[in-house]
Amino acid sequence: MMRQYELVERVQKYDPTADEALLNRAYVYAMRAHGNQKRASGAPYFSHPLEVAAILTDLKLDDATIVTALLHDVIEDTDATRAEIDQLFGPEIGALVDGLTKIKRLDLVSKKAEQAENFRKLLIAISSDIRVLLVKLADRLHNMRTLEHMKPESRKRVSEETLEIYAPLAGRMGMQALRDELEEHAFRWLNPEAYQTVTEKLHELRERNEGLVEEIEAALHKMLDDVGMKVEVSGREKKPYSVWSKMANKQISMEQLSDIYAFRVIVDTIDDCYRVLGVAHQTWRTVPGRFKDYISTPKQNNYQSIHTTVVGPRHQRVELQIRTRDMHSVAEYGVAAHALYKDARKVNGNGANGGSANGALSKSLVFTDKESGPYQWLRRLVETLLEGSNPEEFLEHTKLELFQDQVFCFTPKGRLIALPRGATPLDFAYAVHTDVGNAAVSAYVNGRHVPIDTRLRNGDEVEIKTSKTHTPPAAWESLVVTGRARSAIRRAARDAIRRQYAELGRRLLMSAFERIGESYSDERVKKVLPRLAHKSLDDLLAAVARNEVATEDVLRAVAPELAATARQAQQRVDEPSKAKGWLRLTRAATNKLRLGGASSSESDPPAARVRGIPIRGVKNDMPVLFEAGGAVPGDRIVGVLAPGEGIRVFQIHSPRLQEFEHERWIDVAWDVDPENPERFPALISVTAPNRPGTLAEIANVIGQSGGNIDNLKMLRRASDFTELRIGLEVWDLAHLNQIINGLKAKAVVSKVERVFE
């Protein structure tokens, strides 16, 4: 195990300004925190964070990163807390360690391959500081190096995760060497036989082709020098895993693999790419069918390059990839290239504070590797930063804000859902499935019940509760940010209205049919659709509800001989003397109400009476509007058919009702479901003297009786008295009366009455 002073020396070797005391403190703290813990190999646990730190010293990283490496497992695996880390090592290191703890808690295992990309994005989003990812990759590398001590099933799981998530991430970050090593370990454990075969074969080839890479590099340089071109050339032998995956993907044998040697030629301009191609093809014989121009036709992921295969100096097939510097960074760093370089340019543009070197960090990240070193992108980033800007901004600008426009959340079963920032559980529900969105009634985030318009955060686990009978209200459109959710809500609201109108039309027809002793059925009406010039039953029913088609016309179409009877029946009903009689609760409806004495026996309907259109509640299966002043179960009510609006429901005493001719009145009846009670609107007027505390006392009475105040207006009628108009929501008439009586009993209230405006 590396000794304390050895670690400090290693860091000081590349960064003399590193904080020695800090490193020592972290070493001792981590060693004590892990105490007697052992690794699977039997080695002391502390050897692991120490090795991770050592890997990072090879990358010449700053002291904060090394300290983070030492501490990276203490929060999750020991008694240590974030607060303690903050206190002892400062909030910067605290945040870095916290990032690693968060990653560790993520279960990235055995997710489907198509989700791997999302998981990489999630890792990056959660990390927020590039050093968290660097420590994580070093952590993974050390775990892969020591994988032999794990149980076989863990080996497989960890190796799969490494291949799917971490190796591509390392590649994306431009850390090709790290990627190669991760892939090599994973390949070895996942497919030992293939690994052995490929490795042996590569070894054989290497011996046979000793010095070939250097030879080809030199040849390329020379022939391009001869035509006056300065280029960068890098050649490498393919690694076992990439050779293997190419063989597996293309179903070819090792012998057929022409591109075990691949060379990159990097030039300044697109024009140069074609010039290099011309020179290469002139010098070496080309292999037919291997030329691909991804410059004029980029791949879907924006990859651009010219690929060709030639027969090289030793009659060995050699693949050449020719590209510009920009194309190269996109190929190597993918999304990161855009974001990082964009950031770097932005910083550069600021131009302020040039050159004031910020000790540890800037120096530590200036790599001395050859130009083609694997951490080139980091070095280039640092160089760009050092050139014309304030190096202190380094941290800020290396923070990975690549995926700031996205959040990644999980279903309870672990499925990952990517959403735009600002998304709510409702967006999440629609992203899972439109049916889930349409039925969503409430949401739990990380086990906690939250409003359905809560903004989701990275890593949230979201559970959606659904109800089959639920329809998303049109207003929910404003609670979502995804187009998918928005259009689904719009569609659902439209469908609901269509259904409501069809149901209303059906009810109107049922009443009309019953009135002449006929029984209504959808089938009977469907048969006459062509005669009524409607394509579907729902269309026709909705037209009836909107008063565009008279019920009488439908009757006439279904049973012409009965149409005359229908007309007479209609006239009888419309006689004012009779009209009074049918404005009442039907017995059936009354029985459903939970009312005390609200249903008056004086108006019990005769048995032959036609049942009215059922009014279930505010959220009806039909379009129902409660008129000003409202109406509550127990009230006698009248409906008025309002074209385009549905049924307007009036309390029988509402003065507004008198504005409509009796012909337009329709028979309605309460049909409240006692299982799902709903509140109904009612308006009261309360007159009270202007004294402090009056309003509170009134509200208190209403609240204690279980009423809701929906609206409150003050009408100052006299200087010392105020009339309050209070919009209430109550269960029924008995409930409303209880509130009114409760208010009357208060000394501060001088007058209470129900009003209809």
Which range of residues in 68-76, 176-184, 568-576, 734-742 is near Mn ion by CB under 5 A?
68-76
- HSE at residue 107, side-chain half, CA atoms within 13 A, is 12
Q: What φ, ψ does residue 639 adopt, rounded to 5°?
A: -105, 150
Rounded distance between C-alpha atoms, residue 585 and residue 671, angstroms: 9
Min. distance of Cβ 167 from Mn ion in angstroms?
A: 17
Q: Which of 51, 63, 73, 129 forms a contact with Mn ion (CB under 5 A)?
A: 73
Q: What is the number of the residue whose Cβ is closest to Mn ion?
A: 139
Min. distance of Cβ 51 from Mn ion in angstroms?
A: 10
Min. distance of Cβ 126 from Mn ion in angstroms?
A: 16
Which of residues 81 and 591 has its CB atom nearest to Mn ion in the complex?
Answer: 81
H-only helix segments in 461-558:
483-515, 522-527, 537-545, 551-558
DSSP annotation string for 116-162: HHHHHHHHHHHH-SHHHHHHHHHHHHHHHHTGGGS-HHHHHHHHHHI
Residues 451-470 that bind Mn ion (CB under 5 A): none
Q: Which of 62, 139, 427, 460 forms a contact with Mn ion (CB under 5 A)?
A: 139
Which range of residues in 27-35, 139-147, 562-570, 581-589 is near Mn ion by CB under 5 A?
139-147
Which range of residues in 138-146, 426-434, 574-582, 670-678 is near Mn ion by CB under 5 A?
138-146
Which of residues 47 and 424 has its CB atom nearest to Mn ion in the complex?
Answer: 47
Residues 6+ apart with CB under 8 A from 403: 121, 124, 125
Min. distance of Cβ 48 from Mn ion in angstroms?
A: 6
Which of residues 101 and 500 has its CB atom nearest to Mn ion in the complex?
Answer: 101
Rounded distance between C-alpha atoms, residue 504 and residue 540, angstroms: 11
Cα angle: 466, vertex 470, 472; to 5 degrees: 100
Which of residues 45 and 430 has its CB atom nearest to Mn ion in the complex?
Answer: 45
Marked catalytic residue, from 20, 77, 514, 697: 77
Which range of residues in 69-77, 376-384, 493-501, 604-612 is near Mn ion by CB under 5 A?
69-77
Min. distance of Cβ 70 from Mn ion in angstroms?
A: 11
Residues 6+ apart with CB under 8 A from 158: 143, 144, 147, 150
Cβ(273)–Cβ(306) under 8 Å? yes
Q: Which two tokens stand for residue 432?
A: 């899972």
Which of residues 73 and 332 has its CB atom nearest to Mn ion in the complex?
Answer: 73
Min. distance of Cβ 450 from Mn ion in angstroms?
A: 33
Which of residues 104 and 744 has its CB atom nearest to Mn ion in the complex?
Answer: 104
Q: Three-state SS for 713?
A: strand
- For 74, the enclosing helix (H) or strand (E) is helix 74-77
Q: What φ, ψ does residue 62 adopt, rounded to 5°?
A: -70, 165
Rounded distance between C-alpha atoms, residue 607 and residue 611, angstroms: 10
Min. distance of Cβ 146 from Mn ion in angstroms?
A: 11
Min. distance of Cβ 180 from Mn ion in angstroms?
A: 21
Sequence letter at residue 106: L
Cβ(748)–Cβ(689) under 8 Å? yes
Cβ(93)–Cβ(29) under 8 Å? no
Long-range contacts of 414-418 (CB under 8 A, 24+ apart): 414/107, 414/111, 415/115, 416/111, 416/115, 416/118, 416/119, 416/122, 417/462, 418/118, 418/121
Task: From 527, 537, 533, select the one nearest 499 (Cα to Cα).
Answer: 537
Q: Three-state SS for 634?
A: coil
Alpha carbon 250 to its chain centroid, in Å, reads: 36
Min. distance of Cβ 142 from Mn ion in angstroms?
A: 7
Rounded distance between C-alpha atoms, residue 379 and residue 399, angstroms: 15
Which of residues 56 and 306 has its CB atom nearest to Mn ion in the complex?
Answer: 56
Marked catalytic residue, from 9, 51, 58, 76: 76
- For 711, the enclosing helix (H) or strand (E) is strand 708-715
Sequence letter at residue 267: V
Min. distance of Cβ 72 from Mn ion in angstroms?
A: 6
Query: With binding defined as CB under 5 A, does residue 160 bind Mn ion?
Result: no
**Residue 77 is a catalytic residue:** yes
Which of residues 51 and 667 has its CB atom nearest to Mn ion in the complex?
Answer: 51
Residues 6+ apart with CB under 8 A from 367: 60, 373, 375, 376, 378, 379
Min. distance of Cβ 106 from Mn ion in angstroms?
A: 14
Which range of residues in 136-144, 170-178, 207-215, 437-445 is near Mn ion by CB under 5 A?
136-144
Which range of residues in 133-141, 163-171, 579-587, 653-661 is near Mn ion by CB under 5 A?
133-141
Three-class DSSP labels, 643-683: CCCEEEEEECCCHHHHHCCHHHEECEEECCCCCCCCCEEEE
Q: Which two tokens stand for residue 81?
A: 């807390």
The site that binds Mn ion (CB under 5 A) totals a number of residues, namely: 2
**Residue 673 is a catalytic residue:** no
Which of residues 68 and 586 has its CB atom nearest to Mn ion in the complex?
Answer: 68
Which range of residues in 30-38, 71-79, 161-169, 396-404 is near Mn ion by CB under 5 A?
71-79
Cβ(70)–Cβ(89) under 8 Å? no
Which range of residues in 70-78, 389-397, 461-469, 679-687 is near Mn ion by CB under 5 A?
70-78
Residues that bind Mn ion (CB under 5 A): 73, 139
Active site residues: 76-77
